[in-house]
Structure 1
C-alpha cells in the first residue's frame, strides 16, 4: 500500500535558509529543526550545495518545512532537478517525536558528483550562500 503524500519536507542544504526556501517554494513556511539518522551530507563537486546518501551511522541536522502546497511541491521538484529524487524519510525532532516527511535524496547514478567533503552550514552562510544566489538565476523561472 503506498504511503500517503507528505505535506512536510526535510531540508539539509541551501533550502535550510528561510529566504532561499521562500524564493523556491513561492511562500514562507513554518519550520522546525530536525535530525535525519542513517544519512551523510557531502558537497556536490563544483557547487555550493550538498547531496545526502545513506550511511549506517550517519546523522544530518536540518529543517522541516510544514504544510507544503501542491504548487510549492511543483516548484521544489523543478528546483531540485535530475540529481535528486523525493522520497519519504523518518526525522526526529528535539522533543523526541518522529515524523515521516519527504526529502530530496541524491540519486545513486550521480554519487560520482559528490566530494568527500562534508557540507557545512556555517561555511555556506559565510560565503557559499552569496555565490549560490548569484549563480542560480532560476528562482523566478521555476513558476
Structure 2
C-alpha cells in the first residue's frame, strides 16, 4: 500500500475512485519544488520541477497494488510516475508517488498556473465526457 499525490483532475474523489478502482482516504497536501501548468488543448495540467514553486493537491492514502497499473494507463505516455515527499496541512511529511510531465512533452505546456476551481466550474464535465470511455468505471459528477 502506497500513497498517491494528485494535483489535477484526480483531486476529484469521484474521478480518482473511477480511475483507480478503489475509494481511499485522502487529505490535503502540497509538493514543494514543482509547478503545475495547463496542457495545451486540454482541461488537465502537467506538473514540472521548478525551484521555489509549490503545488497544492490531494494525497490519497494506502492505495492497493491493483490501483497502480490503472493509474499508469490513465496518465499515459506524457507522464512518468515519480516518488516525492509531500507536506500535509498539519506539517507532516509523507512519501508518495505522483505523475510528473515528461520533459519531451514540455512544449505542450502553456504558461501560467492551472486553476482547479476553474476546472470544477467549466472543465470537469468536458473531462469526464472525454475520458470516461477509456475503459474506466463510470464517473459520476457530484
- TM-score of the alignment, normalized to the shorter chain, above 0.5: yes
- Residue 67 of structure 1: SS of its match in structure 2? strand
* Match of residue 136 from structure 2: 140
> Residues of 2 paired with 1:99 and 1:121: CA distance?
23
Task: Give unmatched runs, 5+ long, in structure 1.
Answer: 1-5
CA contact (8 A) 1:23 1:139 kept: no
Q: State how many pairs are aligned.
A: 136
Distance in 1 (alpha carbons) for counterparts of 2:47 and 2:39: 10
TM-score normalised per structure 2:
0.92
Is 1:119 the counterpart of 2:129? The answer is no
Aligned mates of 1:18, 1:140 — CA distance in 2: 14
Which residue of structure 2 aligns with residue 59 of structure 1? 54
Unaligned runs of 5+ in 2: 138-142
* Deviation of the 1:135 alpha carbon: 1.1
Report 1:42-53 matches (<5 A).
42-53=37-48
Q: Which aligned runs of 4 or more in structure 1 are off by greater than 2 angstroms?
A: none
Alignment of 1:1-143 (within 5 A): 7-136=2-131, 137-140=133-136
Q: Normalising by structure 1, what TM-score?
A: 0.92
130-139 vs 22-31, which deviates more?
A: 130-139
